[in-house]
Structure 1
Amino acid sequence: MSWTPSQGDTISKGDSYEFIEQVGSGGFSVVWKAQNQSTGEDVAIKVPNYANANMPDTDIEVYFGRELSALEDITNAGGHPHIMELHESVSHQGVDLMVVDFITGELMEDVQSITDPQNVRQIGIAICDIFSFLHENEIIYRDLKPDNIMLTGNDEPKLIDFNTARDPLQCPNGHEIKFENADQNHCTVCGTDLNSGTVVTAGGKFKAPDLTNQQYRQGPWTDVYAIGKILFYILNSGQAVIQDNIDPRDYQVSTSAPLAEIIQRSTAVNPTNRFRNATEMKEALEQNDASVSGPSATLRIQSTGQEFTVSPGDTLGRKNTAGPYATIEVDDPGNDAYISRIHMKFEHEQGRWVLKDTSKNGTILYKNGTPYQLDSTSRTQNPDRRALDDRDVISPVAENYGLDLQFRTN
């Protein structure tokens, strides 16, 4: 039988922690309030929920490990003020534990008193900022719902659950499972059964149609849909609906016209009718205007002439890979080996376009024919971002890699 904590137990690694009381329990983990014995700080310790009789221990460990991996990636990326912070992971008597922030507040599913559209709009801005950060760092969430968000005393949202966060999925025989097939019961390559550690289920009334309808490609807009559903849920006193294209005014919800229009646009059935990404939705919320689309530019593949429209917050990455999907997908001339899933991001700051490298192998930016290397890793001293000008040329990975993209301001 696996070890489970009791009040007064202590564990140690970098610091020593004493278990105070159990404060929560879910399908995959049990949450304890604990105290750092060195600093006196309250922390939360997540423990695998081996008492869950509906799921084998091996599956519990898969989900628990997935959350730990995601939180480690977030920490390595610098963290985010609205995401639960990982302090450290600890192994105690053969059981892996994670020490995280102890967040005081209420789960969003328990809050039914936020009806001021201005407050809801500010919550939406903060949530959009979270998802812009996640997508940039190759973390796809896909399961945003009220019980995954804590609201602090200032109504600031904190994302607290990451056991549905995904790295590339594989079936038991090692075949990669694309996200559009991840809700299936069998591997589409070899037919092997997918256990509950592999099958993706997400969202219920907050789940975007693109998660189940292969007519639509998944991408940042998939989480945009869930954000819109969350905002409607708050305005509607904690009541969700399964419909798409939601106008809160159709449900006798008192709200401003701009916020209603933002929610309606974000919950459109067709992803092309939504905001392209969380960054664009954040700008719409900040300006209180659903028609906001922000500046746009064009990327042109020089060898083929194929063009893509670029909006602030858009990402570019390798096609034909498990998510998270980039906004713009390109073929990798290096046999799908070197262009990252999220290789670069396009930002617009103080009136200027900026290219940010988010890859594992770097990006070359040509300005008037002179190459500049961008590198988000710690391997070099090169910067990870640089301003973009009209007719600059972008080459993922290296000079003469085989994919040159000309950037054109519109």
Structure 2
Amino acid sequence: MGEFFGQYEILDVLGRGGMGVVYRAKDHRLDRTIALKELLLDSTLSDTEKQDTTERFRREAVASARLTHNNIVTVFDYCPFGERHFMAMELLDGKSLGECIDSKTHFSFQQVVDIGVQICAGLDYAHLNGIVHRDIKPDNIMILANGSVKIMDFGVARVRSDLPSMTQTGTTLGTIAYISPEQLCDSRLVDGRSDLFSLGGLLYELLTFKTPFDGGSLGGTILKIMNEPPIPLRQHNPAIPPRLEQVIIRALKKNPEERYARAAEMAQALAASLKETQPVLVAPPQMGNGGAYPAPSYQAPMRQTPPPPERSGMSGMAADAKRLPQQIREIQFLQTFGKAGFGQGEFQQPRGLYIDTNRNILVADTENGRIQVFNPQGRFLKQIRPVPSQESFRFPRALSANNLDILYIVDDLDFRIYKYDSHGRQLAIWKRTRTGDDNPAIPGRIAIGTNGNIFLTEPNNHRVLVHDANEKSIQVIGKPGELQSPMGLALDPKGFLYVLDYGLASVVIFDKRGMKVANFGKRGNGPGEFAVPRDLAIDRFGFIFVADTLNHRIQVFDPRNQWLMNLGQRGQGEGTFSGPEGIAIGNDDTLYVTDRGNGRVQAFKVIRQ
């Protein structure tokens, strides 16, 4: 070869793929042998597609160069030469897991666990540095001769901070066999738990030589990812340890909140999965296509009228609701404030929001690591963020305040709750401890009653915790089977607790004693049906507003839990949504929604008869 590009001399070809070629090269400036990856642009691509592909290649270099970790390939340089684009990185002596699977390489259970733990270590480091890989698959994992593992190819990574998004609404990046349901819906809505889903698929294949959602075609595979659970691994190979199977199946849950919260948590579970189990070689038997069991579909057919909600035990409540006060006639779009970005009044994946006693709107600007405050007209007022040296929130998820205007902020990184005063000064950290296998450190949403009681959903523990104003635990709501993955919650004017359970795709209602009295809704896309709903709000008359996130709309129900109307559809224009998540309504009948995928907040006016 002998061709030079700056300081790099190409020695020979290491491998080729559809999008590039990797050379062994000599770095003459630093006198070392490296791998030099060149981007290959298909001549049939348009100029716009070529620019997009080139920028994505540059982003891979930038994203990877920010990461220095033993389990992530080291990138040294991005070096364009004329119309050719190269990336210089460390030279690895090994082969990809994709090659191992193709050659039917059998790993012991201990080796599979070790591979998974190392991948988790690299992913946890990337996630803590604001980078989601979005394309974890066997071909992107290199196993070296000494057994160490390296994550490669951050070409479709989503990067927090100052790098603009390359993903437009509706664009799906990643490899279909390992892609998460939320990434199929909208690549911009993913976080690190999407990588854990992909890792679950990778480990599943290492153990069985089968992908977990093989539908025989692109469309069939997508339908299985969205609608069906994987065949249990032990149906392919009964020798697989049950605890290892449980770890992988949890990583493959449809709903992100049911997976491990962090890669580090999954690594701990993997490491513990082989206790009292002797490592043996994997020898997957030949199995038929049986063993799959049905799951409710996200793509239910449209219904002209929703089914009547279940209201057993609700006779008194229903009787009180017969006289519907201030029936809603329509909901009008008012304004949008904010846009995707990093500056003042701009958002990156906004999630929860709260209306304070002054009618100001506080928005959890999650990936910008701050709370932004706006007046009722949508004008930016201030931001709340910790000082760099302060132990405080980093990725705020949800927030609420008590009668003393003390703000409670739930963090999406360490799952603690941070307390701030109305001036934006941190007061305390509410550190909730783990007890045995019971992990209370994964809160979902928070609500505070007029008496000061604090209600906190715990999706992974299938319950709602109630604390008094002094943060002393006083009640647990949710008997076995009543809740699956509770997330949003709100109190109605009578003190009944409404819990939005995205796992059940329904709203579950509890009375003041914590007894379940009703539920309504089911999985689907018709009126009164939900697809991964995340939050809800109740107005002063008892009308319920549900953020039906993956159906990209708001659904409205009357105080009798009867469906009234839908608001919005998927889109980027006024009154349309891309993954609406947080929702709140003020006493002036202004409804606010965080339009997470579009990076903005939208305001609507509820018009009553």
Structure 1: which amino acid aligns with 2:97? M
- Which of 17, 22, 45 is the matching residue for 1:55? 45
Going by fraction, where is strand more abundant, 1 or 2? 2
Cα distance change on mapping 1:261 and 1:23 into 2, 3 Å: same
The answer on whether the counterparts of 1:89 and 1:99 sit within 8 Å (CA) in structure 2 is yes
Distance 1:400 1:114 in 2: 60
Equivalent positions of 1:1-400 (< 5 A) are 7-12=1-6, 16-50=7-41, 52-56=42-46, 58-77=48-67, 79-111=68-100, 112-167=104-159, 182=169, 184=170, 199-213=171-185, 218-237=190-209, 241-242=213-214, 244-252=229-237, 254-288=239-273, 329-331=351-353, 341=367, 343=369, 363-364=386-387, 372=390, 393=419, 400=423
Secondary structure at the aligned position of 1:143 is classed as coil
Structure 2: which amino acid aligns with 1:153? A
Larger Rg: 2
Match of 1:368 in 2: none
The answer on whether the counterparts of 1:109 and 1:238 sit within 8 Å (CA) in structure 2 is no
The answer on whether the counterparts of 2:110 and 2:274 sit within 8 Å (CA) in structure 1 is no
Distance 1:283 1:41 in 2: 37
The answer on whether the counterparts of 1:28 and 1:64 sit within 8 Å (CA) in structure 2 is no
Structure 2: which amino acid aligns with 1:100? M
Match of 1:379 in 2: none
Per-residue CA deviation, residues 99-148 of structure 1 (Å, 9 max, x unaligned), is: 11111211211103133111000110011112112222221222211111
The answer on whether the counterparts of 1:45 and 1:98 sit within 8 Å (CA) in structure 2 is yes
Cα distance change on mapping 1:117 and 1:32 into 2, 3 Å: same
The answer on whether the counterparts of 2:95 and 2:144 sit within 8 Å (CA) in structure 1 is yes
Cα distance change on mapping 1:202 and 1:392 into 2, 3 Å: closer
Structure 2: which amino acid aligns with 1:135? H
Structure 1: which amino acid aligns with 2:430? F
> What is the CA-CA distance between 1:394 and the residue it aligns to?
6.2
Match of 1:358 in 2: none
Distance 2:137 2:173 in 1: 12
Distance 1:64 1:99 in 2: 15
Instruction: Give the TM-score normalised by the residue count of structure 2.
Output: 0.44
Distance 2:390 2:180 in 1: 39
Q: Which moved more, 1:121-130 or 1:154-163?
A: 154-163
> What is the CA-CA distance between 1:149 and the residue it aligns to?
1.4
Distance 1:320 1:140 in 2: 21
Per-residue CA deviation, residues 63-102 of structure 1 (Å, 9 max, x unaligned), is: 343343344344345x111111111222323533221111
Cα distance change on mapping 1:269 and 1:10 into 2, 3 Å: same
Cα distance change on mapping 1:20 and 1:391 into 2, 3 Å: closer
Q: Which moved more, 1:139-148 or 1:22-31?
A: 22-31
Structure 2: which amino acid aligns with 1:8? G
Per-residue CA deviation, residues 208-251 of structure 1 (Å, 9 max, x unaligned), is: 1222357xx64322211111110011112365543534421122
Cα distance change on mapping 1:95 and 1:58 into 2, 3 Å: farther
Cα distance change on mapping 1:279 and 1:24 into 2, 3 Å: same
Distance 2:426 2:393 in 1: 17
> What is the CA-CA distance between 1:262 and the residue it aligns to?
0.7
Distance 1:70 1:229 in 2: 23
The answer on whether the counterparts of 2:72 and 2:151 sit within 8 Å (CA) in structure 1 is yes
The answer on whether the counterparts of 1:114 and 1:237 sit within 8 Å (CA) in structure 2 is no
Secondary structure at the aligned position of 1:19 is classed as strand
Secondary structure at the aligned position of 1:341 is classed as helix
Structure 2: which amino acid aligns with 1:288? S
Secondary structure at the aligned position of 2:202 is classed as helix
Give ranges in structure 2 of 5+ residues lacking alignment. 215-223, 276-343, 371-383, 395-413, 434-609
Give identity over the alignment, percent.
Answer: 19
Cα distance change on mapping 1:247 and 1:33 into 2, 3 Å: same
Per-residue CA deviation, residues 272-302 of structure 1 (Å, 9 max, x unaligned), is: 3221221211111122279xxxxxxxxxxxx
The answer on whether the counterparts of 2:116 and 2:270 sit within 8 Å (CA) in structure 1 is yes
The answer on whether the counterparts of 1:45 and 1:100 sit within 8 Å (CA) in structure 2 is yes
Distance 1:238 1:33 in 2: 33
Secondary structure at the aligned position of 2:24 is classed as strand
Instruction: Give the TM-score normalised by the residue count of structure 1.
Output: 0.63
Distance 1:285 1:245 in 2: 19
Structure 2: which amino acid aligns with 1:256? P
Cα distance change on mapping 1:207 and 1:73 into 2, 3 Å: closer
Per-residue CA deviation, residues 326-378 of structure 1 (Å, 9 max, x unaligned), is: xxx4449999999561639xxxxxxxxxxxxxxxx96249xxxxx947899xx
Distance 2:212 2:47 in 1: 32
Aligned length: 309
> What is the CA-CA distance between 1:54 and the residue it aligns to?
4.6
Q: Which moved more, 1:29-38 or 1:335-344?
A: 335-344
Give ranges in structure 1 of 5+ residues lacking alignment. 1-6, 169-173, 185-198, 291-317, 345-360, 366-370, 377-387
